[in-house]
Structure 1
Amino acid sequence: MKAFVAAPRSAALRALNYEPAVERIRRAGSSSAMPLQDVVKALGPAYGSVFTRLDCSPSHGVELIAQSDMFSAEPSGRVIRRDSMPQPERHLVTRGQVLIAGAGTLGENELYGRAILADNRLAGKYVGPDSMSLHFEEPDNDFSLFAYAWLASRTGLQAIRSTSYGTKILRLRRDLLGSLPVPIAPTDIMVRVAGLVRRCVADRERFLEDLHAARRLVEALPAMKSAWEMCSERRRHSLVWTSPLPSLSAWNVASTGGALRYLQGQWDSTLGDVIHSDGVYYGTRFARVACQPPHGIDFMSQRDAMLIRPAPRRIVHPGFAERQLYARPGTILVGAQGTLGEGEIFGRAVLVHDRSAKVAFTEHLLRIVPTDGRALSLYAYLTTTVGFRLLRTTAVGTKLLSLREDMLRTLPVPEWPDELATAVSDLVRSAFDARDRAENAEEEAIRIVEEEVLPQWLG
């Protein structure tokens, strides 16, 4: 990349700090753009702060979210004592803040430099030192939301990354970030963009609300309540096991504190009864060769599949059958290679919906293909706390674990009235419809910025 700079600044001597698009906007003059620092009242008040995290019980602590948690479809952070942070109010996330991943590398699909607007899924949680938070004077006004769409665009990402300093792990410079010019568009365009961003935020909140409502219906089953008491808190367990042992690891029978055997005694149905005969399989390993659109296909890792706004890689089609690369709508993907940390992706499930059916997935995501009519209710069950613990009982291996397919088929699944299964399925369907609407609205807002606003500076 080359940048021809008319007025190099003594504070920024690296070529990385001169993004051509940003320099063109600067040359357009103050009447066409406004520095970011003039539209925010605080820029990263907790960014770069150092503190020792003191873990505690969820009932006594606050949730600290990492960069990956900010972009997760279902944010879930680490619970720490609030007094771990010297000034906790600076770390608190409120609705309408823009959160930026503030530490990382310049990889094409890395989170570093990406921005997301905080909604009720994130509000009330706390960010760590690697997250840059922008506090707008008026978070919900049209210009603030338009500024977010600009920062979330491809050009905005490049602009944010141009404020980097460091060597291996880059970080953002407040002074350079604050000086980034935010283009000023005609009022009608800013109103359109802001309306789309508001719709995106509302639908993302609806997505999580409906998912939680579906899980509450599942968790209200009497057997689920008892199982939850046994396994909700991860701790050491011991029990007497008289049935055949599926492996030589005590983890596979004892990790749920007896919930596995209890549910096997309560329900006759197993996962193998509600999926196709060939409905549990891994993808195929292959080399990832990078390429540029329109060539190739989008490819998602385990991390990407769990994000609310995925950042897939673009790779050359490896030539395998589509079944090994793609997953049809209704397939449940489970993170199937990793470790047993509470915040890890390993054992967590995600549902393939219409949009994600067009993307190739890593072989490390286990595919579970339910029979017709069972996908939505089964997904709700497997993503409850009990379902998550049961999936992890099938973990085998040493450092990096994987899931045993034969043991997965024997996991107990609920036997419930048709009316309850229908109600759960309707809520899950509503949740993913809302997620699709949110993605479409945000993409359209960013498209307007990139195709109708930026060309007048970048042409």
Structure 2
Amino acid sequence: MSRKFQVKAVPSSWLEHNGRRLDCGPYMSGAIEAAELMRQFSVEPLESLTKDIFHAGREGRQYVLDAQHGVPFMGSTDILAFDLTYQPLLSKKQVNRNPQFTIRKGWTLITRSGTTGRMAFARESMDGMACSEHVMRIVPDANKVPEGYIFAYLSSRFGIPLVVSGTYGSIIQSIEPHHVSNLPVPRLGEVESVADRLIQRSGSLLSNSQAKLNEATELYFDSVGLSDINPTEWHSWGSDLGFATPVSSKSLRALNFNPRFERLCSQIKEGQHKLLGELCLEGTLRRGNIFKRIDAAPEHSYQLVGQKQIFWLRPEGRWISKASVREEVLVSDGTILVAAQGTLGEGELFCRAEFITGSTLERAYSEHFLRVIADESQIERGALFAFMRSETAFRMLRSASTGSKLQDFHYAVLPSLPIPYPEQAVRKKCHDLVMEAYEARDEAIRFEDEARSLVERTIEEGAR
């Protein structure tokens, strides 16, 4: 693909207002354009509309495994995630010593280092969680400005360039509170309340979606007389050292026979169950094929999503030419994609699962995912996902891996994993809960987009 050059004509007044700066970066980023547009409105500095702008400060993190002694912790990219059920735990003692770790509903969260300017609205399911020092907290004063409007404006195409720009619009590597304290916020009257209602509704839908997913998983286990394991239980079962077990010709790796894994499998086999291979369509339970990536314009491309981004509410990815790949990069409705390569660290994504339906069907997915496609004559696809997203499935899948540093699945072991098999009525209920959760997710994204578009449109019209 030939290189595209960007060209933009700017009024001479922009040069005068910005110290006659002649390098193109600040003008092309949109920061100066946004600042000029703000001159057409009654504006207030961000700090005058907030109770506080801060981050947690840099200090070593103390993680724990027991939920009684920990608080779910979000890193800088975790604020972008849809499902926050299985976050690592930060020590309660550390959070109590430094309350600035804690997130509250209604705040605007902004990544402040690395890739700066990514944003999320703190919804109810985030309330009380701890968050990295690499995320800046904007705490609106609800008596002066609606919380949702602040997020809608800051995450708009006018707000983002101002957030990530420093003096005279130069791009900076890390954002500090004083970089955004004087950021101009236009007052838009009734539009602020409308945007707030849309953002609040979006946040409520996302929190309800997560609750439905957790309900589906809990129902799935309860119906067969089991409960999902948690990390505390898993690690309390002892180490995997010094055991003897019969081995098969499929594997000679000790991890594939470890006692904790065998204990999980035995518990499932005591009740109604089927093997994973029996529940999936023939030819699945494999990774995708390797393919060449050729960049192209979005109108001629698929957005390619990798392991890291798939768990985000709004996955990002490069645009690859449709003509350069076959349709196997796409997946069918209800496919479960499992991160298929990685390491065995507790916080790593390897073996975490995502459900593909609705708007996510439009994207392409890399070869680094295990494709799990349920045979609908055996089990509803949403029901299988209710199990595959669980901590139990996560631990079982990790025990069915192979490799040295970088792990992959042992594809001879996967089909023999036992899966609890509830009655049909329960499976249908679990499937419906999962589908409702993902439909609500798409609706939440639409509400957020609507709020942002409303703010952008109002600013554009007011500047004419």
SS in structure 2 opposite 1:224?
A: coil
Aligned to 1:52: 60
**Shift of residue 364 of structure 1?**
0.5
**Shift of residue 259 of structure 1?**
1.3
1:196-211 to 2 correspondence within 5 Å? 196-211=198-213
Aligned to 1:138: 142
**Shift of residue 394 of structure 1?**
1.7
Provide Cα deviations, 1:327-364, integer angstroms capped at 9, x if missing partner: 11100000001111111111011100111000011110
Aligned to 2:79: 70
**Shift of residue 192 of structure 1?**
2.8
Q: Given the alignment of the two structures, is residue 434 of structure 1 paired with residue 443 of structure 2, yes or no? A: no
The answer to whether the 8 A contact 2:272-2:422 is kept is no
Q: Given the alignment of the two structures, is residue 158 of structure 1 paired with residue 167 of structure 2, yes or no? A: no
2:331 is aligned, of 320, 327, 331, to 327
Aligned to 1:193: 195
In the alignment, structure 2 segments of 5+ residues that lack a partner are 1-5
**Shift of residue 164 of structure 1?**
9.0
1:402 is aligned, of 400, 408, 420, to 408
1:358-373 to 2 correspondence within 5 Å? 358-372=362-376, 373=379
- Kindly tell me: are residues 86 and 259 of structure 1, through their superposed partners in 2, closer, same or farther at Cα, counting changes over 3 Å? closer
- Kindly tell me: are residues 411 and 230 of structure 1, through their superposed partners in 2, closer, same or farther at Cα, counting changes over 3 Å? farther
Distance 1:337 1:398 in 2: 11
1:211-250 to 2 correspondence within 5 Å? 211-221=213-223, 224-225=226-227, 232-233=234-235, 236-238=239-241, 239-242=243-246, 244=248, 246-250=250-254
The answer to whether the 8 A contact 1:224-1:386 is kept is no
**Shift of residue 81 of structure 1?**
2.3
Aligned to 1:100: 110
**Shift of residue 436 of structure 1?**
1.5
In the alignment, structure 1 segments of 5+ residues that lack a partner are 106-111
Distance 1:175 1:442 in 2: 27
Provide Cα deviations, 1:27-58, integer angstroms capped at 9, x if missing partner: 44384333222211111242xx2212223332
- More deviation, 403-412/203-212: 403-412
SS in structure 1 opposite 2:281?
A: strand
Aligned residues: percent identity?
Answer: 24
**Shift of residue 155 of structure 1?**
3.8
**Shift of residue 257 of structure 1?**
5.5
Distance 2:171 2:33 in 1: 29
- Kindly tell me: are residues 19 and 161 of structure 1, through their superposed partners in 2, closer, same or farther at Cα, counting changes over 3 Å? farther
Q: Given the alignment of the two structures, is residue 274 of structure 1 paired with residue 284 of structure 2, yes or no? A: no
Distance 1:378 1:62 in 2: 29
Distance 2:431 2:272 in 1: 20
Distance 1:451 1:375 in 2: 40
SS in structure 2 opposite 1:432?
A: helix
Distance 1:256 1:317 in 2: 42
TM-score (norm 1): 0.87
Provide Cα deviations, 1:285-331, integer angstroms capped at 9, x if missing partner: 23434444333221111111101222233232352221x21111100
TM-score (norm 2): 0.86
Distance 1:297 1:229 in 2: 37
The answer to whether the 8 A contact 1:63-1:125 is kept is yes
1:424 is aligned, of 424, 430, 440, to 430
Aligned to 1:175: 178
Letter in 2 for 1:250: A
Provide Cα deviations, 1:49-77, integer angstroms capped at 9, x if missing partner: 22122233321122332112211112243
- Kindly tell me: are residues 24 and 186 of structure 1, through their superposed partners in 2, closer, same or farther at Cα, counting changes over 3 Å? farther
- Kindly tell me: are residues 74 and 244 of structure 1, through their superposed partners in 2, closer, same or farther at Cα, counting changes over 3 Å? same
Distance 2:228 2:356 in 1: 30
**Shift of residue 277 of structure 1?**
0.8
Distance 1:409 1:388 in 2: 15
Distance 1:222 1:328 in 2: 29
Provide Cα deviations, 1:212-241, integer angstroms capped at 9, x if missing partner: 111111232455339779963375235442
- Kindly tell me: are residues 247 and 350 of structure 1, through their superposed partners in 2, closer, same or farther at Cα, counting changes over 3 Å? same
Aligned to 1:286: 291
- More deviation, 173-182/301-310: 173-182
SS in structure 1 opposite 2:139?
A: strand
**Shift of residue 264 of structure 1?**
3.9
The answer to whether the 8 A contact 1:376-1:425 is kept is yes
- Kindly tell me: are residues 146 and 383 of structure 1, through their superposed partners in 2, closer, same or farther at Cα, counting changes over 3 Å? same
Distance 1:318 1:335 in 2: 26
Provide Cα deviations, 1:136-163, integer angstroms capped at 9, x if missing partner: 1118x86431221122224433332223
- More deviation, 207-216/414-423: 414-423
**Shift of residue 97 of structure 1?**
0.7
Equivalent pairs, count: 445
Aligned to 2:349: 345
Letter in 2 for 1:41: K
- Kindly tell me: are residues 432 and 142 of structure 1, through their superposed partners in 2, closer, same or farther at Cα, counting changes over 3 Å? farther
- Kindly tell me: are residues 89 and 437 of structure 1, through their superposed partners in 2, closer, same or farther at Cα, counting changes over 3 Å? same
Give the RMSD, CA atoms, in angstroms. 3.1
- Kindly tell me: are residues 228 and 135 of structure 1, through their superposed partners in 2, closer, same or farther at Cα, counting changes over 3 Å? closer
Distance 2:135 2:393 in 1: 31
